Amino acid sequence: MAEEQAIILPHKVETVSKHINRQVYIKAYTRFISVKNEGNMSQLKSILLSARDMILPEQVYDFWCEEFALLSRRRESIAKVVKVVQESSDSVSLWLKPNANFQGIQPGQHINLGVEINGRRLQRSYSVSSVRGAFFRITTRLVNKGQVSGYLNQHAKPGMLLYLGDVYGDLSIAKFDQKPALFLAGGIGITPIISMLEAWAGSYRTLPVELMYWGKSEKDLAFVERLKKLASQNDWFRLHVIETEFIERNEDGSPRLLAESSSWFEDLKNRIPNFEAFACGSDGFVSQLRDRLQPWVNHFSFESFSPVFATATAGMPVQVNLSKQHRSVTIASGVNLLRALEQAGVAIASGCRRGTCNTCTCKKISGLVQDQQDQRIHAEDNAMFKPCMHTAISNITLEL
């Protein structure tokens, strides 16, 4: 402790003495406009920032940028659609140019994207399907009743703005760089995989990569042509497309992804122990493959997606996670959320209790809540809502 101080102190003294005059000068001003001291930011810088925010507050700056079709924003990360490619009859790819606030994304990672539809910003998670410099691509497949996928498939065009949320996903290309890889894709689960393949396409990769790609029929599969081309150009890459329309069924009617007698599988078994396996698809797809492959592979990792479902009946217990307090409480679904939280001993600011004063409004990080008045289901992640007007209908996470 003492040693540390001895080293640091002279350095500090030096800087202080150097800038002593300026600091006195700055101090007079900061006293005047009471700038809050923000960590290491120099006082001069914070004064300049405050002056900037006075003349051009975020709201005004963002407005004029949008008005002049500039991508710049004070804080918000956004992206412009620069190219739209129809990948198959029901999937479309968007090439995005993010603004400078965006921290970047790696092949294999996912991003929460906000799209404004009918005046409401809806958020969905997409895996990036290719990264080229600052630009990246997402691919969306039309899902039945999917509001966002439906909108993007029909209306996406260059120039459209999307709002970029959090980037997440531990799985990244680095994991497979030094090992042979076995990729298993179910339908649109191809997206994180193609982004990695694209990244390797221009490199000196020698370690083998094998891709099994399942889909109803080949014409419905995104990127099939591109994958075939990659396979013919790169010795290290082998592609197997399996059309599930005509293959054997499991007892529950789902397609049997790997037949017992599959010669490909027999052949693969001999090579498999050395592979790093990764599966991406719906929950059912991943669990079927995991059961089958886990005993054989070196390491099996997976990502799956399935919509969140609401609890069937009111009164069922749901869990409310409170992200700031690092705890969770259990309440009944179907009852007023504000009252239920209070009864569970959660301190929450509130006022009118009738949806008018906007005091209890807080951020819902995930989960489903339902408006008790007009029954609208509020499914957006990371969006504000009023607990006094809603009831939780699934497990939810609140920023409290």
Closest approach of Cβ 385 to another protein, in Å?
A: 8
Cα–Cα distance, 399 to 137 (Å, whole number): 30
Beta carbon of residue 164, minimum distance to another protein (angstroms, whole number) = 12
| Residue (292 or 339) nearer to another protein, CB | 339
Residue 358 as a binder of another protein (CB under 8 A): the answer is yes
Residues 117, 125: Cα–Cα separation, whole Å: 16
Contact segment (CB under 8 A) with another protein among 3-11, 141-149, 225-233, 371-379 equals 371-379
Tokens of 37: 């001291």
In terms of CB distance, is 172 or 350 closer to another protein?
Answer: 350
Sort 333 into a burial class: Cβ within 10 Å, 0-12 / 13-18 / 19+.
buried
198 near another protein, rule: CB under 8 A: no
Q: Would you say 317 and 330 are in contact if contact means Cβ atoms under 8 Å apart? A: yes
**Residue 33 interacting with another protein (CB under 8 A):** yes
Can you state the angle between helices 224-233 and 191-201, rounded to 10 degrees? 30
User: Do residues 368 and 357 touch, judged by C-beta distance below 8 A?
Assistant: no
146/376 Cα distance (integer angstroms): 16
Among positions 17, 21, 59, 103, the unique one binding another protein when judged by CB under 8 A: 59
User: Are 94 and 119 contacting, i.e. CB atoms less than 8 angstroms apart?
Assistant: no
Q: How far apart are the first and last CA of the chain?
A: 37
Shortest reach from residue 167's CB to another protein, in Å: 18
Residue 385 binds another protein, judged by CB under 8 A? yes
CA atoms within 13 A on the CB side of 366: 10
Q: What's the CA gap between 244 and 246, in Å, rounded?
A: 6
**Closest separation in Å from C-beta 50 to another protein:** 8
Does residue number 383 form part of the binding site for another protein (CB under 8 A)? yes
* β partners of residue 318: 331
Is 386 among the residues that bind another protein (CB under 8 A)? Answer: yes
DSSP 329: E
CB of 351 to another protein, least distance (A): 4
Interface size with another protein, residues (CB under 8 A): 38
Q: Which residue lies nearer to another protein by CB, 33 or 247?
A: 33
**Which parts of 241-300 interact with another protein (CB under 8 A)?**
none
Residues that bind another protein (CB under 8 A): 33-34, 51, 54-55, 57, 59-60, 62-64, 67, 76, 114, 116, 118-123, 351-352, 354-359, 361, 373-374, 376, 380, 383-386
